[in-house]
């Protein structure tokens, strides 16, 4: 998935166009009115779109159903 805002940089527009050419069967979306650094400046709409992509578009159901893994604290040696 490639995701970009409409108010982005020229370089990002170029990269987005290249991704569309290189990955023609991929999902390419534009978020209206969002700037280049939207994940930092406007995280809510970006996160919402990413979560919808993961929930509905990722074919691996095991990814969505996998339980959270508990990480044990590292053992320390004295």
Strand 2-7 relative to strand 28-35: parallel, antiparallel, unpaired? parallel
The number of beta carbons lying within 10 Å of the beta carbon of residue 28 is 14
Contact, 44 vs 55, CB < 8 A? Answer: no
Contact, 24 vs 39, CB < 8 A? Answer: no
| pLDDT tens sequence across 10-26 | 999 999 999 999 999 88
- In order of 3, 13, 18, 21, 51, the CA distances from 33 in angstroms are 13, 14, 21, 24, 20
Q: What is the pTM of this model?
A: 0.63
- The band of 27, judged by pLDDT with boundaries at 50, 70 and 90, is confident
């Amino acid at each position: 998935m490639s995701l970009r805002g409409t108010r982005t940089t020229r370089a990002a527009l170029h990269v987005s166009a290249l991704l569309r050419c290189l990955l023609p069967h991929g999902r390419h979306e534009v978020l209206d009115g969002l700037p280049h650094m939207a994940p930092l400046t406007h995280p809510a709409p970006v996160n919402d779109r990413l979560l919808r992509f993961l929930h509905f578009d990722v074919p691996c159901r095991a990814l969505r159903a996998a339980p959270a893994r508990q990480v044990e604290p590292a053992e320390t040696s004295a």
